[in-house]
């Protein structure tokens, strides 16, 4: 009788451990991912950027790219909120599936995304952004959906703010030049 009880207790404990592990995984996903797109959230991106900036200070290459869906408000108006959300998710998945496992892509806000590209110089980062721009344009041509991108590389003494500001300025430049473009600063 006692051995039977011990077996039951052991089984119960094993099940409890499995449930705890499952809950930890669930909580981690909630804490680090954007609810709508499934990409990493901006908070997680910022934490990873801090780590990669420290590596860049020691000589590792680092680039970031900001992507923005062009004229998203018009897409929202033309197709409605539900379809616009579906297209936002499609863009997110296209971006995510086209990057290396070591890259971090996150939702930056609204219809903007930000990518952390470790061990990547700005020339290669521009090629990556250009490839993503073309992929989105081609695969979502039915909706005339395009993206613009601003790219930059780590410069000596960059902070989170300075590198993101430079990428944002490059994005603004791409939009000024007519959208559906990649600009590098």
Catalytically active residues, by annotation = 111
Using the structure block, give the residue that is written with the tokens 């806000």. 109
Residue 183 near residue 170 (C-beta atoms within 8 A):
yes
Cα–Cα distance list, 46 to 20, 108, 116 (Å): 28, 10, 10
Closest CA to 62 of 50, 71, 74, 73: 50
Residues 6+ apart with CB under 8 A from 125: 63, 64, 65, 117, 151, 152, 153, 184
């Amino acid at each position: 009788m006692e051995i039977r009880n011990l077996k039951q207790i052991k089984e119960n404990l094993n099940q409890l451990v499995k449930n705890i592990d499952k809950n930890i995984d669930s909580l981690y996903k909630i804490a680090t991912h954007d609810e709508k797109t499934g990409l990493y959230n901006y908070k997680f991106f910022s934490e990873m950027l801090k780590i990669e900036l420290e590596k860049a200070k020691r000589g590792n290459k680092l680039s970031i790219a900001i992507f923005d869906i062009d004229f998203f408000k018009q897409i929202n108006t033309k197709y409605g909120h539900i379809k616009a959300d579906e297209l936002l998710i499609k863009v997110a998945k296209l971006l995510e599936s086209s990057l290396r496992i070591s890259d971090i892509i996150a939702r930056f806000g609204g219809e903007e995304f930000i990518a952390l590209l470790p061990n990547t110089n700005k020339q290669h980062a521009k090629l990556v952004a250009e490839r993503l721009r073309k992929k989105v344009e081609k695969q979502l041509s039915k909706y005339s959906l395009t993206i613009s991108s601003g790219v930059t590389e780590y410069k000596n003494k960059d902070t989170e703010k300075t590198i993101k500001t430079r990428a944002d300025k490059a994005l603004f430049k791409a939009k000024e030049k007519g959208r559906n473009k990649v600009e590098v600063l």
